[in-house]
Amino acid sequence: VEVDISLMYESAKTIGHFNNIEKKWKWLKRQEIVEDSDKISIDRHGIHGLHMMAIIKVLLSDNKEFKTLKKDLIDESDDEDELAIATLSKDDLRQAPDTWQQLIYTMVEKQLETYNTSYEDNHELLKKDAFLTSRKRYSLHIRYGQQSILRNIAECCNNKANTKQNSGCKT
């Protein structure tokens, strides 16, 4: 599933207890760490994205951390491997700080809201897929698969909010 990086920015703004999200986002863009056209890829193994770790760290930093990160990231920009594609596996997500989980969870929920039909509706349609044309059946399977992946990632991020450990996050 491809998710626009702008959903991470929008999600960070809604979390509410972080300062200067707009300023941090503009700085990330000026440094060419993020572009509006960037995507995050989410699959059954986790989340993958260019400079993703740096983006999360910057967005969720307090003012003191942000000053340090700015210096560190500028120094690291000479070594593109440090800023290259990062992956957060499901295990990483389960062990990530609460704020990281909250950010990813909110981003995934926002992506799920972009679908015209709900996961539950698609599940019901799958039971009746013999009545669908092959093109509609294929589209339904793709949409349902994407929603399943997103829901599973949300469950991995939501395990601390729920008191059940690993609340349905499938590895």
**Of 83, 73, 91, 82, the residue nearest 171 (C-alpha):** 91
Distance CA 125, CA 34 (A): 38
Q: Is residue 170 included in any domain, yes or no?
A: no
Q: Is residue 92 included in any domain, yes or no?
A: yes
pLDDT tens profile 122-167: 988 888 876 788 898 899 999 999 999 999 999 998 755 443 444 5
Q: Is residue 171 included in any domain, yes or no?
A: no
Residues near 91 by Cβ (< 8 Å), separated by ≥ 6? Answer: 171
The model's pTM:
0.85
Q: Is residue 74 included in any domain, yes or no?
A: yes
Per-residue pLDDT averaged across 55-72, rounded? 89
In the chain, % of residues over pLDDT 90: 50
Q: pLDDT band for 119, please (50, 70, 90 cuts).
A: very high
Q: Is residue 165 included in any domain, yes or no?
A: no
CATH number where 51 lies: 3.90.1420.10
Q: Is residue 169 included in any domain, yes or no?
A: no
Average pLDDT over the chain, rounded to whole?
85
The CB density around residue 85, as the number of other CB atoms within 10 Å, is 12
Q: Which domain holds residue 99?
A: 2-157
Per DSSP bridges, beta strands 39-43 and 2-4 are: antiparallel
The CB density around residue 21, as the number of other CB atoms within 10 Å, is 19
Q: Is residue 121 included in any domain, yes or no?
A: yes
Q: Is residue 110 included in any domain, yes or no?
A: yes
Give residue 112's pLDDT.
Answer: 96
Distance CA 101, CA 155 (A): 10
Give residue 76's pLDDT.
Answer: 63
Domains in the chain, number: 1
Give residue 160's pLDDT.
Answer: 53
pLDDT at 60 over 70: yes
pLDDT at 36 over 90: no
**Bridge partners (DSSP) listed for residue 89:** 46
**Of 103, 89, 156, the residue nearest 166 (C-alpha):** 156
Per-residue pLDDT averaged across 116-121, rounded? 92
Residue where the block lists tokens 């990632």 = 153
Q: State CA 58 to chain mean position distance.
A: 15
pLDDT tens profile 1-33: 999 999 999 999 988 667 789 999 999 999 888
Q: Which residue has the higher pLDDT, 130 or 43?
A: 43
